[in-house]
Chain A
């Protein structure tokens, strides 16, 4: 297998694969004519937005697609020259985990929580390699070493909840590679992980590819990951491959309009180097507030969860989730709050709206909110609103869109029925939607539309500050870019201040005037965007920036 990838026959070959979904109104084609080859030791990325058919493709190869609702209409999948499309389940089982292994997106749920790591790893080994007892265990320890998990002997006796997310994904990879598969299918393997952990896992996968000579089919929505990992890339849209080829060609000379749009929508870290402000998006004169007092002034904010005691439990003091945070936001400005999971950034966002108990001082629009009762807090709520991460979860599914947007007006007793209806219509148009959307229900809208609805709802009370907690993290890149532009436009026209919470450095760079970096409940660095991004003082900030995958394959080829 030392020959160059071009000269060897493909390990995995997909020819004209079409998949139909069974719907009440008959069969509906969801994958059309997918063809690609995966050669030995090669990494092919299937890239596309949600609903493009990436995951259905990988599940079809594994024979793991839901057979009650999907049906392979035509096409051939062959592994090492042997067709596997019509193989009986018994023989497919030997291939799965043997010749083809798979790593899933969610390391938190893809390990069995009641089995030790060792038991799960040796089970996979025994299933396919007929290694028994001590030798299976020996191999398991070797595999953990290979994925750089230290203290392997002890890890084997631990349960999944005792391991971090990145560690669990390493275990999943170890499990997948333990039977020396020819093909590793990785479905969004790093999407659920922090950016620094993602960088480690991607490095590990590259190492293992050369060490085990495994071909990798990597499914991802992240063009940065594609640039970093792929030899070749296939861009998918609506169940078709619109374009495939060498990663450098695709990135530098995209042939299809869709590919160009997709690449253009990716925010690039460092794109705004040398400028102070977020990009202007509207042509109108910006709204300038005359008051320059900060909308939000926070000093010495601390939050601890779980310090309460139960009836039978001893009183215990939990470690603070947020520890002595101070920050201020002026009208019309955005403070980007960036950090990895567990850094306390979301809790900070909830605390400044008085949604979690805290100690320290939070002044909203000049008034202290600490210690206020629910009813005393209500008038202050008009000054600050929140937009959540998951637009699917933050709208009541049983309430029509119009009622949801009007609800803040009802709560605060603003206007009568017809005035509120007019206001809802105006708000919907304000966020770029039809006024007739008011009578429909949230499930009838896409993620991007729902996030627009959430924004309209947050704007209903004409707040001065909006806390946006990972508000675009659940959206596809092209939708994300449009929602971010909408938020910038609203800021320019209404003088809104944002506390913009995100784990995504590129998004933070695009949106912020000032940036605060959080780690372990503390702010490790705060300053103007230019200071933080172009001249980071703190090691952690530097590490965070270095870990961000850059959507430019040439960058990695040079390295």
Chain B
């Protein structure tokens, strides 16, 4: 409740929250909102010369090169992209937190194994790994999300590890041990809360990169499979027509940018609101 009140008091956070709500509503209500079937290649969706139709008229945001309604595709694409952005990214941040915090707190051989594994993953080209994984498993939305999660946790783990190492050196952790607090208590009550800001910032920053990584995978034929739309694959399908039909890149690009910005604004506000040391400051 307090979090809600604080967000309502900050214009930027409120703006972000509204956009997030709009995007989520669009994704959920896509079948109701979409004027056309997103996969239908309509005859009147192309000019007589076979070129896509510019925005305005019956097609609000124009049509793509196959004569499909762009607005409808963006609405349905929001479903896939949000699932990728939120689920894949959420899993990646969770894996990163878990591995980083364990390695940072445990020390010794557990830490060595976990961090050397993280380094190995970091050195490995992420795209190549994703291609291999996607090729082994039959591509579907959820598999793509898993693949992205398995690639993206590495940076989070590295940063969380470093922060945890610094935290456990601080006196208040030693004070906890002197009180007889167990590992679980120290980790969850005293270390984890300090990592929440990092997790929030990475989580929100990661949404845009995740959406784009999915687009890359789609381009290589191992992402969300056509004709299913995602914001990423709409851009990649149309990029060679950028000169002739710029709206095909502009609209999905703007949607990705706006969504990422909105999540960032909300994330930043959350980080400040959840930090008690910021409370009561001007």
Query: A: which residues have CB within 8 A of B?
Result: 23-25, 308, 310-311, 350, 353, 355, 374-375, 377-378, 381-382, 385-386, 388-390, 393-400, 407-408, 411-412, 441, 443-444, 454, 457, 461
User: Contact check: which of B170, B178, B189, B193 meets A386 at CB < 8 Å?
Assistant: B178
Contact pick for B172, options A308, A394, A411, CB 8 Å: A394
| Neighbouring B residues of A310 by C-beta, 8 Å | 112
Closest 9 CB pairs of A and B: A381-B180, A394-B171, A24-B282, A378-B180, A393-B171, A386-B178, A408-B179, A396-B172, A441-B276
Tell me if B277 is interfacial: C-beta within 8 Å of chain A: yes
Cβ–Cβ < 8 Å partners of A454 in chain B:
175
The answer to whether A398 touches B180, judged by C-beta atoms less than 8 angstroms apart, is: no
CB-based contact B179/A407 at 8 Å: yes
Tell me which residues across on chain A come within 8 A of B179, comparing CB atoms.
381, 385, 407-408, 411, 461
| Min CB–CB distance A321 → chain B (angstroms) | 16
Report chain B residues within 8 Å CB of A411.
179-182, 185
Report yes or no: A398 in contact with B174, Cβ–Cβ below 8 A: no
The complex places the Cα of A394 from the Cα of B190 at a distance, in Å, of 12
In whole angstroms, how far apart are the Cα atoms of A24 and B281 in the complex? 10
CA distance A498 to B109 in the complex (A): 38
Contact A388 B175 (CB under 8 A): yes
CA distance A443 to B277 in the complex (A): 6
Interface flag for B11 (CB, 8 Å)? no
Q: Which of B75-102 contact A (CB under 8 A)?
A: none
How distant is B20 from chain A, measured CB to nearest CB, in Å? 26
Residue from B109, B170, B174, B190 with most neighbouring chain A CB atoms (10 Å): B174
Which chain A residues lie closer than 8 Å to B193 at the CB level? 398
Which B residue's beta carbon lies closest to that of A408? B179
Is A398 in contact with B194, judged by CB distance below 8 angstroms?
yes
Chain A residues positioned under 8 Å from B183 (CB to CB): 374
Q: Which residues of the partner chain B approach A407 to less than 8 Å between Cβ atoms?
A: 176, 179, 181
Q: In the complex the two chains form, what is the Cα distance from A458 to B282 in whole Å?
A: 33
Among residues of B, the one whose C-beta sits closest to the C-beta of A350 is B174
Contacts A25-B282, A390-B171, A396-B190; A385 near B178 (Cβ below 8 A): yes
Q: How far is the CA of A395 from the CA of B173 in the complex (A)?
A: 9
Which of B193-207 touch A at CB < 8 Å? Answer: 193-194
Report the bound CA distance from A267 to B110 in whole Å: 49
Give A310 to B109 CA distance when docked, in angstroms: 8
Contact between B190 and A397, CB atoms less than 8 A apart: no
Note all chain A residues with C-beta closer than 8 A to B279. Answer: 441
B275 within 8 A of A: yes
Q: Contact: B175 with A394, CB < 8 Å?
A: yes
Task: Name which of B182, B276, B280 has the most chain A CB atoms within 10 A of its CB.
Answer: B276
Nearest residue in B to A379 (C-beta to C-beta)?
A: B180
Could you tell me if B282 and A311 are in contact, using CB atoms closer than 8 angstroms?
A: no
User: Which chain A residue has the least Cβ–Cβ distance from B278?
Assistant: A443
Closest Cβ–Cβ distance, residue B41 to chain A (whole Å): 56
Beta-carbon nearest neighbor of A395 in chain B: B172
Q: How far is the CB of A184 from chain B (nearest CB, A)?
A: 35
Chain B positions within 8 Å of A412 at CB level? 180
- Note all chain A residues with C-beta closer than 8 A to B178: 353, 355, 381, 385-386
Cα distance A399–B172 when bound, in Å? Answer: 11
**Chain A hits for B181, CB < 8 A:** 407, 411
Using CB atoms, name the residue of chain A closest to B180.
A381
> Could you say which of B112, B182, B190, B277 contacts A441, with CB atoms under 8 Å apart?
B277
Chain A, Cβ-Cβ closest to B173: A396
Query: Nearest Cβ distance between residue A253 and chain B, in whole angstroms?
Result: 42
Cβ contacts A to B, 16 pairs, < 8 Å: A24-B282, A308-B108, A311-B109, A388-B175, A393-B172, A396-B190, A397-B172, A397-B276, A397-B277, A399-B190, A411-B180, A411-B182, A412-B180, A441-B276, A441-B277, A457-B175
Q: Which residue of B lies closest to A388 (CB)?
A: B171
Minimal beta-carbon separation of A228 from chain B (angstroms) = 32
> Which residue in chain B gives the minimum CB-CB distance to A375?
B182
Complex Cα distance, B180 from A382, in Å, reads 8
Q: Do B175 and A374 have beta carbons less than 8 Å apart?
A: no
Contact partner of B276 among A394, A400, A457, A461, CB < 8 A?
A400
List the B side residues contacting A311 at CB < 8 Å: 109, 112
Contact residue among B170, B177, B282 (Cβ-Cβ distance under 8 Å from A393): B170
Q: Decide if A377 touches B277 in the complex (CB within 8 Å).
A: no
Given contacts A353-B178, A355-B178, A381-B178, contact A398 B171 (CB under 8 A): no
Pick from B174, B179, B185, B193 the residue with the most CB of A within 10 Å: B179
* Residues of B contacting A393 in the complex (Cβ-Cβ under 8 angstroms): 170-172
Question: What residues of B have a CB within 8 angstroms of the CB of A398 in the complex?
Answer: 193-194, 275-277
CA distance A444 to B281 in the complex (A): 10
Find out whether the CB atom of B180 lies under 8 angstroms from the CB atom of A444.
no
Q: When chains A and B are docked, how far (Å) is the Cα of A24 from the Cα of B280?
A: 13
Alpha-carbon gap, A385 to B174, bound state (A) = 11
The listed residue with most A CB atoms (<10 A of its CB), out of B170, B171, B190, B194, is: B171
CB contact list, B144-172 vs A, under 8 A: 170-172
Q: State in angstroms the CA–CA spacing of A153 and B189 once bound together.
A: 54
On chain A, the residues within 8 Å of B112 by CB distance are 310-311
Chain A residues near B194 (CB-CB < 8 A):
398
In the assembly, what is the distance between CA of A353 and CA of B279, in Å?
35
Shortest CB-to-CB span from B275 to chain A, Å, is 7
Beyond A25-B282, A385-B178, A444-B280, 6 additional pairs, beta carbon < 8 A:
A375-B182, A378-B180, A386-B178, A388-B171, A390-B171, A411-B180
Separation of A399 and B177 alpha carbons in the complex (Å): 16
- Do residues A377 and B180 form an inter-chain contact, with CB atoms below 8 A? yes
CB distance from B167 to the nearest CB of A (A): 10
Least distance between B188 CB and chain A CB atoms (Å): 12
What residues of B have a CB within 8 angstroms of the CB of A23 in the complex? Answer: 282
Question: In the complex, what distance in Å separates the CA atom of A308 from the CA atom of B193?
Answer: 31
